[in-house]
């Protein structure tokens, strides 16, 4: 339960089929997100702040509002200095 919201975001970000276990992970993660439940203070401070700022409360919001930001930060950190 501690990282269920992150697992849901990761499942959505990886464009995994939302069936079987993945459906359970995403569904439970989004329910916890809506209830703002987390045992992890860092998760609350970081992820919940970001999700609240962009009014994220479903898988589509995560896919189109949050995932592009996560991918952009990865792409900029992959660039090698010239």
Q: Are 52 and 10 in contact (CB under 8 A)?
A: no
Instruction: State pLDDT tens for residues 11-23.
Output: 999 999 999 999 9
> What pLDDT is recorded for position 2?
77
> What pLDDT is recorded for position 1?
75
**Cβ atoms within 10 Å, residue 49:** 10
8-state DSSP, 47? I
Locate the domains of the chain by residue range: 4-78
Q: What percent of the chain has pLDDT over 70?
A: 77
Instruction: State pLDDT tens for residues 35-75.
Output: 775 556 666 677 778 888 888 889 999 999 989 988 886 66
> What pLDDT is recorded for position 72?
82
């Amino acid at each position: 339960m501690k990282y269920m919201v992150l697992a849901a975001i990761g499942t959505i970000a990886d464009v995994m089929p939302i069936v079987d276990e993945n459906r359970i992970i995403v569904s439970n993660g989004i329910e916890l997100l809506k209830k703002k439940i987390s045992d992890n203070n860092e998760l609350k401070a970081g992820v919940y702040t970001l999700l609240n700022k962009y009014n994220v409360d479903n898988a589509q919001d995560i896919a189109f509002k949050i995932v592009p930001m996560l991918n952009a930060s990865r792409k900029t950190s992959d660039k090698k200095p010239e």
